Structure 1
Amino acid sequence: MTKTILTLIVTLSCASVSLAETVQPNFLIIFIDDMGYGDVGCFGGQSARTPCIDRLAAEGTRFTSFYAQSVCGPSRGALMTGRYPYRVGGGWTTNAEEVTVAEIVKQAGYSTGCVGKWDMSQRRYQQELVPNSQGFDFYFGALGANDIGRVTLWHNREELRTTDDMASLTRLYTDKSIEFLKAHKDRPFLLYLAHTMMHVVIDASPEFRDRTGHGLYADTLEELDTQTGRLLAALDELGLRDTTLVLFTSDNGPWSNDHAEQHGKNEKHVAWSKGPEIPWGSSGPLRGAKATTWEGGIRVPGIARWPGHVPAGRTSDAIVSTLDVLPTFAGFAGVSDRVPKDRVIDGVDQRELLLGQSDDGARDEFLYYESGELQAVRKGNWKLRLPGLKKVRNWSEMDRGSQETELYNLDRDLGERKNVAPDHPDIVKRLTAIAQKAKSP
């Protein structure tokens, strides 16, 4: 009996020491725009070569049930605050009173930088909503999207210039990110790099156009992969590789459900390269795409690397979300006590999952929202799609489903093809109860 108790004490002590030893890594978030689950090689993509991203996955853990939100602005608000979008503003605005992950880690002495697409201030300058008012010491990028083939660039609070050179943005954002790393290599930092690509209007620089023969999307993705490699190489050169937790993911699924509109938009501003004239990516084996609550709209590639801490060469199907970034990073930075307690935080601390100390992680539920409407619920491997959905966009290839109750076993039916609701009324009832609770104030 005494021996058993001593063994338990030693085991628990080792677990606590393991978490304590991981305090205060640097954080690098690489957030791609509109990249599909099936785009990069390590998630089954074939049209573009992505050796740098694939190497990142091999050196870390690949998460195959990683969830963002359904569209751009709300997804960024959820990432930054750890809260579902309807709680923080609901659209392309994140309310000024929200607390971001940058604000939290600054209290642990971190330098904070944001480069690229912000999209949390209604795509314009609003003093209380821009990055420098939301916890970031440094900002360079565009406050909105590039749907009209141009963006206005800002440095901190200063408006710089407007450019229609979409092909220049990936390298430009990478250059600015590397500058930030060099300037802050001697103290803990959080760098949030939010690329404008792969959002329509896409383009690749001259050295990458026609490189793949598989069209402009593939060319643009290969350039993004190359620039990701440059950024990771800079970590190595600066001696930051082993002290930096890298998270690579996307804001939502591909824009592959509005063909005529998105094709015409890209063609208006950019000439096609050799291959298919398609400016969107692939959901791979998943059903649906951007702005939907099918898996292809919200499940995205997720990769985490931290040498010596996050297991290398591992694949995890545990449920993880961008919502979890805030409490997880706060834990690693040693400031979990600074996570707000006066509001609901939907994210959970996933440190044990990241470090390989847990197979299942801290989350077994996920709620799927689109435009503030709860449309689906996941519990374990079961996903319930609710009936009578009202917030479904009128895009040409939009998959509206049956508009009846639909139940899918994602372990057996990842593509959500076979509705098994009639066969499992007990599971429907259980997940419906979760949905009803989530809808309650």
Structure 2
Amino acid sequence: MNRILVTLGCFVWLLGSISATAFAQPADSQPNRPNVLIIFTDDQGYADLGCYGNTKNKTPRLDQLAEQGTRFTSFYAQTVCGPSRSALLTGRYPIRSGGWGMPASEVTIGELMRDAGYQTACIGKWDVSNRRSIVPRMPNAQGFDYYFGPLGANDSGRVTFHENNEKAGMTDDMGSLTKLYTDKAIDYLKEKRDPQEPFLLYLAHTMMHTIIGASDRFRGTSEGGLYGDVVEEFDYETGRLLDVLDELDLRDNTLVIYTSDNGPWNQEKYTDRKKGHPEGSIFWGEAGPLRNGKGSCYEAGYRVPCIVRWPGKVPAGRVSDAIFATIDFLPTFADLCGFEPPTDRLIDGIDQTDLLLGRRETGRDNFYFHDAGIRQGKWKYLKPDAQFRGYAVEDNREKVEELYDLDLDLGEQINLAAKYPDKVAELNRLMKSVETDGAVPPQLDQSIGIRK
């Protein structure tokens, strides 16, 4: 009898150990939670890449990425840099998330994913702390374990780096930045992270913003002048980073997202006024069939390329025209990576997991253009006083309501507002509901002129 009891006791102990081990497994060891790599370029035009119709720039690695994943053709960021970054980080339109002045109280994907067991790193352009070293609003305080990059843009032809919260030198060699950021990203993957834990790596490039530059290896080698050189170097360096995912056996469980922060600077008002460009360079990204460029509320200001790859999960070789946006990253990552979105504030993004994984073909119902208008389905509405940055203002634009059928008129040339007044009124109401639904302006600290 004693022998039976001992045997039974051992069996119960064994079952308990197995059960405890199973239930004590940390969430970050779950095999289906992907690593996330966001490659965020700056001011890259909708049609700068071969897979988006460019016949001049050679972009074999990004074209290959599109073949391996899904290429989105109605993907939206914001129309300028800082607002685009606050929207991506928070899942909230800039009317709520603050843009360049993003308050420290905003909750980012870095914070949420770190709390869910992810390692988090940001490399490159930050641009949501008013381009100043305000520690509570810098990457380490906003959820990123590791940071390297400049806090702002390179409009002066020089950038100052920070590594975490400390200054880490400066450079006026703009042609060195694409490789430098890629090297830092590779070093993070190889040397800094824990291979046993999942990671979020947010790589925000400076190129192709304003004072562009390419390294000696690429300068003068493309058919597109210096801008083409920069595009082709970016393609090469992205390929080098993707190769490291393969080398480290990370490819199959890494969700890779490539996109841009806004459309290209391609307006004569900008290029004629801006000083400091390298001699002989033409800063002119390509928007393809889209109207205008950066700073505009027409499609070329907001609609950007987006490619998503996750082998075996995101369908390969697929092209989707579903409405998808950077504000959707946060709730989508919540589903895929195992965390809950904030419930104490309005999240404008929606969970696009089913769209990404090919379980549905529809995306967002609507997308809001900052202080300008709204798209719903094929219809796009702009109010008479729609916001344009100065360099993007079209002098011959009449300040009237505009309505476009994007299915038939992607270039926004035929204003249908007079023909469909009911649709204009409907979309105007929808636009106003987005603007007023939870839109609480960030508190302004008058003493230093920045948002808390």
**Fold equivalence (TM over 0.5):** yes
Q: Give the C-alpha shift of residue 330 in structure 1.
A: 1.3
Q: Which runs of 5 or more residues in structure 2 are unaligned?
A: 1-29, 438-452
Aligned to 2:6: none
Q: Which amino acid aligns with 1:365?
A: N
Q: After superposition, what is the alpha-carbon deviation per residue over 1:191-218, rounded to whole angstroms, capped at 9, x for unaligned?
A: 0000000001001001101101421000
Aligned to 1:125: 133
Further displaced range: 131-140 or 210-219 = 210-219
Which of 348, 351, 355 pairs up with 1:349? 351
Q: Give the C-alpha shift of residue 24 in structure 1.
A: 1.1
Check if 1:419 corresponds to 2:392.
no
Secondary structure of the 1:232 match is: helix
Q: Which amino acid aligns with 2:41?
A: I
For residues 87 and 151 of structure 1, the distance between their equivalents in structure 2, rounded to whole angstroms, comes to 28
For residues 405 and 119 of structure 1, the distance between their equivalents in structure 2, rounded to whole angstroms, comes to 33
The 5-angstrom pairing of residues 120-269 of structure 1 reads 120-182=128-190, 183-184=192-193, 185-259=195-269, 261=271, 264-267=274-277
Secondary structure of the 2:136 match is: coil
For residues 397 and 72 of structure 2, the distance between their equivalents in structure 1, rounded to whole angstroms, comes to 27
The 5-angstrom pairing of residues 250-329 of structure 1 reads 250-259=260-269, 261=271, 264-267=274-277, 270-272=278-280, 277-329=281-333
Q: Which runs of 5 or more residues in structure 1 are unaligned?
A: 1-20
C-alpha RMSD of the superposition = 1.6
For residues 265 and 186 of structure 1, the distance between their equivalents in structure 2, rounded to whole angstroms, comes to 48
Q: Give the C-alpha shift of residue 396 in structure 1.
A: 7.2
For residues 407 and 379 of structure 1, the distance between their equivalents in structure 2, rounded to whole angstroms, comes to 11
Check if 1:381 corresponds to 2:378.
yes
Which of 309, 322, 330 pairs up with 2:334? 330
Check if 1:64 corresponds to 2:73.
yes
Q: After superposition, what is the alpha-carbon deviation per residue over 1:14-69, rounded to whole angstroms, capped at 9, x for unaligned?
A: xxxxxxx9841000000000001011111111221000111001100000000000
For residues 156 and 298 of structure 2, the distance between their equivalents in structure 1, rounded to whole angstroms, comes to 27
The 5-angstrom pairing of residues 80-119 of structure 1 reads 80-89=89-98, 91-119=99-127
For residues 397 and 364 of structure 1, the distance between their equivalents in structure 2, rounded to whole angstroms, comes to 28
For residues 385 and 306 of structure 2, the distance between their equivalents in structure 1, rounded to whole angstroms, comes to 31
Further displaced range: 258-267 or 192-201 = 258-267
Check if 1:366 corresponds to 2:363.
no
Q: Is the 8 A contact 2:271 2:283 kept in 1?
A: no
Q: Which amino acid aligns with 1:425?
A: P
Identity of aligned residues (%): 54
The 5-angstrom pairing of residues 389-408 of structure 1 reads 389=386, 391-395=387-391, 398=394, 401-408=397-404
Residues 121, 400 of structure 1: CA spacing in aligned structure 2 closer, same or farther, 3 A cutoff?
farther
Q: Give the C-alpha shift of residue 422 in structure 1.
A: 1.6
Check if 1:55 corresponds to 2:52.
no
- Matched residues, number: 406
For residues 136 and 281 of structure 1, the distance between their equivalents in structure 2, rounded to whole angstroms, comes to 31
Residues 100, 400 of structure 1: CA spacing in aligned structure 2 closer, same or farther, 3 A cutoff?
farther
Secondary structure of the 1:384 match is: strand
Which of 28, 32, 43 pairs up with 1:34? 43
For residues 228 and 261 of structure 1, the distance between their equivalents in structure 2, rounded to whole angstroms, comes to 27
Q: Is the 8 A contact 1:288 1:294 kept in 2?
A: yes
For residues 121 and 46 of structure 1, the distance between their equivalents in structure 2, rounded to whole angstroms, comes to 38
Further displaced range: 36-45 or 392-401 = 392-401
Q: Which amino acid aligns with 1:30?
A: I
For residues 44 and 342 of structure 1, the distance between their equivalents in structure 2, rounded to whole angstroms, comes to 43
For residues 324 and 402 of structure 2, the distance between their equivalents in structure 1, rounded to whole angstroms, comes to 23
Q: Which amino acid aligns with 2:399?
A: Q
Secondary structure of the 1:55 match is: helix
Secondary structure of the 1:124 match is: coil
Q: Which amino acid aligns with 2:398?
A: S
Q: Is the 8 A contact 1:290 1:297 kept in 2?
A: yes
Q: After superposition, what is the alpha-carbon deviation per residue over 1:385-428, rounded to whole angstroms, capped at 9, x for unaligned?
A: 11133x43332764673210111000111100111112212211
Q: After superposition, what is the alpha-carbon deviation per residue over 1:266-286, rounded to whole angstroms, capped at 9, x for unaligned?
A: 43xx233xxxx3112011100
Aligned to 2:21: none
Q: Which amino acid aligns with 2:265?
A: W
Aligned to 1:9: none
Secondary structure of the 2:304 match is: strand
Structure ID, larger Rg: 2
